[in-house]
Chain A
């Protein structure tokens, strides 16, 4: 089966610019996650969707980050305006059900803010 698709793979922007990442989860997966992984650290959950509703966005910096999952399939994560500390890999993951025990991750988008 096809895996979780993310684009772009790499992005370089200047601080204060905006950027968007796209994720296409595995077909039929109801739950979608966005993680931020700073170099040398484990991934940190930013937001979790169940179909097109938000389950948890407690760690999402809502003053600059936003995410949506229209029609309960694809999702976009946006940063506006970007800061230097946003430089990280942004990972998208999906799973069949909210309580499913296996999550499938995409390869991530590496963002560099200069």
Chain B
């Protein structure tokens, strides 16, 4: 699976948009980009995933560059409850072995 690079930490003011970047320059054509987050003392929680088109759900938006070498997770109106470690993961979503290989993620702190 392709490796990802994320900043170790970021701050965001409450109510503002949080933009979390991820580099995955070695991604292959059939690999998806997944985002999970882990709030303190809890298990990881799925947020969103995409292949090459931008995606949006009730939690966040995922913007993938045209060359698919990087992506950005956007939390449109960050709240204190969004303080967590955010993991960007690249892996195969189709038939075959599907695994989530976690890196160290980005620790997002939402500040009042």
In the complex, besides A42-B87, A44-B102, 17 extra interface pairs with C-beta distance below 8 angstroms are A35-B102, A41-B104, A43-B102, A45-B100, A55-B97, A56-B97, A91-B44, A93-B44, A98-B97, A101-B34, A102-B49, A103-B100, A105-B44, A106-B43, A107-B41, A107-B43, A108-B43
| Cβ contact within 8 Å between B43 and A98 | no
Q: Which residues of chain B come closer than 8 Å to A24, judged between CB atoms?
A: none
Given known A-B contacts A91-B43, A105-B45, A99 and B101 have beta carbons under 8 A apart: no
- A75 an interface residue at 8 Å Cβ cutoff? no
| Cβ contact within 8 Å between A105 and B98 | no
Residues in B lying within 8 Å of A, measured CB to CB: 32, 34, 41-46, 49, 85, 87, 92-105
- A51 an interface residue at 8 Å Cβ cutoff? no
**Shortest distance between the CB of B98 and any CB in chain A (Å):** 5
Of all chain A residues, the one with the shortest Cβ separation from B87 is A42
Which of B43, B49, B103 makes the CB contact (< 8 A) with A93? B43
Residues in A lying within 8 Å of B, measured CB to CB: 4, 31, 33, 35, 40-45, 48, 55-56, 91, 93, 95, 98-108
How far is B44's CA from A108's CA once the two chains are assembled, in angstroms? 10
Q: Which residues of chain A come closer than 8 Å to B99, judged between CB atoms?
A: 33, 45, 48, 56
Q: Which residues of chain B come closer than 8 Å to A91, judged between CB atoms?
A: 43-44
4 tightest CB-CB pairs across the interface, nearest first? Answer: A105-B43, A42-B102, A102-B46, A99-B98
| Cβ contact within 8 Å between A101 and B93 | yes
How far is B94's CA from A99's CA once the two chains are assembled, in angstroms? 6
> What are 11 A-to-B residue pairs whose CB atoms are below 8 Å?
A33-B99, A40-B104, A42-B104, A56-B99, A91-B43, A93-B44, A98-B96, A98-B98, A101-B32, A105-B44, A107-B41
Of all chain B residues, the one with the shortest Cβ separation from A98 is B98
